[in-house]
Amino acid sequence: MEANTHIGQAPRAVVALPLGILTRNAFPVVLGALIAVSLSLLSPGLLVADSWMTLVTGREIVQHGLPHHDALTVLSLGRRWTDQQWLSQLAWYGIARAGGIAAVALVGTLVVVLTYASAMAASRSLGASARSTFFVGLVAMFAGPWGWQVRAQSLALPLFAWTLWLAATHVRRPSRAILLALPLLVVWANVHGSVLLGAIIVSLALAFEVARHRSRPRVALNASLLVATWLCALATPYGFDVVRYYRLMLVDPPFGKLIVEWQRTTPSGITAIFFVLAAATVMLALWQRGRFQLFDAIVLAITLLGALQAIRGIVWFTLAAVVLVPRLLDGAIRRPDVVQMPRANATLALVAIAGAASVLVFVGTKPRSWFESKWPDGAVAAVQAAGSDARVFASDRHADWLLWRIPTLRGRLAYDIRFELYTRSQILAIGGFTYQKGSRWKRIADGYRVVVVDEDSDAGSPTKALLRESRTRVAYRDEGVSVLVRGDAPADSTAS
């Protein structure tokens, strides 16, 4: 009888453990489900120019090997290309090959859900309540929504959450678990340049341990780990060439003032929630400084400064806030985080998970045309009809998408969004064409039979001016894009 009792208890224990987790974390689970539902239903909006560039580059790697010199566009043909994000691009291309664009969009959604789930789990493990974790996470979700778009950076998001979790835990309870950050950094080093932020965070955690334990063996161990941290951050097939890449991208990028997400963050409609979150974080940090670890303060300060320096940095601050700020909010609320209705909490969490899974399955049955509703097949057909040898000058929004849909455009496309490959004068010429500035703004498009115009750009459309050229006609046009075909393209462009 005793043996049978133990046998009966085992299945109940297996069920009780996850139910207990759901009961104690019902609201974070609901937030994760809300993110899954929202992003899956908004999947077409997750596919942007960076998405297509990521897929194009992944295909390039599969077909031609790891790139060292560009062969995709005319303006950068033969130029040195350090493709630091190669592993992420390869992974996204594999997903596209296996399941099409639907799989890309849905995996992109799941990556964001995994990131938020990891950040909220980190917050809870550091002592924050489920209530405060939910509130901070909800605000952070809307503080930088462009960060959830599918791009190479996407796969770095959970790596950031896991690395910060390990580092913050190590500062509080030093253990060998910090060693797990090293393989994370190696993967991250081949996924996205934000690995430098991860290396800084791990280095800080190691430095704090040295400050507390100054024995020679401990100092020597942490010094070795510190060196290993930065070697892992530089562990790419490009070797130390990646240092030149980081210098180009971080110190003085030639495109920094022309691309919105590289510009300084200023108050506006799209950054309003970020500034609310930033102000609340600073206020709570000052008010609840007794609950604040110095490590947490430094990480939040670094990520906040990065977010103010460039819009693209907001995503890292919001994730750091989800991990580190809820404990401060607990101090301000000063109410015990007690589960009042455990059965209702468990039911709510299970319903949220089931609802999110149902929506994901529903969206997964949508055709490719639904996911690419903002990317019309008619424009692709018009470009193809212009001829297999025609050069194409396309807007940065459409260039990589066309290259993805028409692989034979390789080497015939003027430029794409890898702006680090172009000279400052080329970038200025591209900007001049986009904004129709200067007396010779059309010059850079000379020699291109096809011109693809972004009709939804804030810069205004050059279509009317281009149609004044003789023998130029509209091959396709809708509210978002125009494909113009020139009867006889002039001599090759001399812009450099």
What is the 3-state secondary structure of the chain?
CHHHHHHHHHHHHHHHHHHHHHHHCHHHHHHHHHHHHHHHHCHHHHCCHHHHHHHHHHHHHHHHCCCCECCCECCCCCCECCCCCHHHHHHHHHHHHHHHHHHHHHHHHHHHHHHHHHHHHHHHHCCCCHHHHHHHHHHHHHHCHHHHCCCHHHHHHHHHHHHHHHHHHHHHCCCHHHHHHHHHHHHHHCCCCCHHHHHHHHHHHHHHHHHHCCCHHHHHHHHHHHHHHHHHHCCCCCCCHHHHHHHHHHCCCCCCCCCHHHCCCCCCCCCHHHHHHHHHHHHHHHHCHHHCCHHHHHHHHHHHHHHHHCHHHHHHHHHHHHHHCHHHHHHHHCCCCCCCCHHHHHHHHHHHHHHHHHHHHHHHCCCHHHHCCCCCHHHHHHHHHCCCCCCEEECHHHHHHHHHHCHHHCCCECCCCCHHHCCHHHHHHHHHHHHCCCCCCCHHHCCCCEEEEECCCCCCCCHHHHHCCCCEEEEEECCCEEEEEECCCCCCCCCC
| Claim to verify: residue 276 and residue 420 sit in the same structural domain | no
* 161 located within any domain: yes
* 64 located within any domain: no
| Claim to verify: residue 350 and residue 421 sit in the same structural domain | no
* 338 located within any domain: yes
| Claim to verify: residue 149 and residue 258 sit in the same structural domain | yes
The number of distinct structural domains making up the chain is: 2
pLDDT in tens, the chain (496 residues): 444 545 455 455 444 557 677 777 778 899 999 999 999 999 998 999 999 999 999 999 999 999 999 999 999 999 999 999 999 999 999 999 999 999 999 999 999 999 999 999 999 999 999 999 999 999 999 998 888 999 999 999 999 999 999 999 999 998 899 999 999 999 999 999 999 999 999 999 999 888 877 777 778 888 889 999 999 999 999 988 888 888 877 777 766 666 666 778 888 888 899 999 999 999 999 988 888 889 999 999 999 999 999 888 999 999 999 999 999 998 888 777 766 677 787 888 889 999 999 999 999 999 989 999 889 999 999 999 999 999 999 999 999 999 999 999 999 999 999 988 998 899 989 989 988 888 889 999 999 999 999 988 777 788 898 998 888 999 999 999 999 999 754 444 434 3
| Claim to verify: residue 399 and residue 468 sit in the same structural domain | yes
* 403 located within any domain: yes
Range of the domain at 332: 16-46+82-354
| Claim to verify: residue 346 and residue 220 sit in the same structural domain | yes
| Claim to verify: residue 312 and residue 389 sit in the same structural domain | no
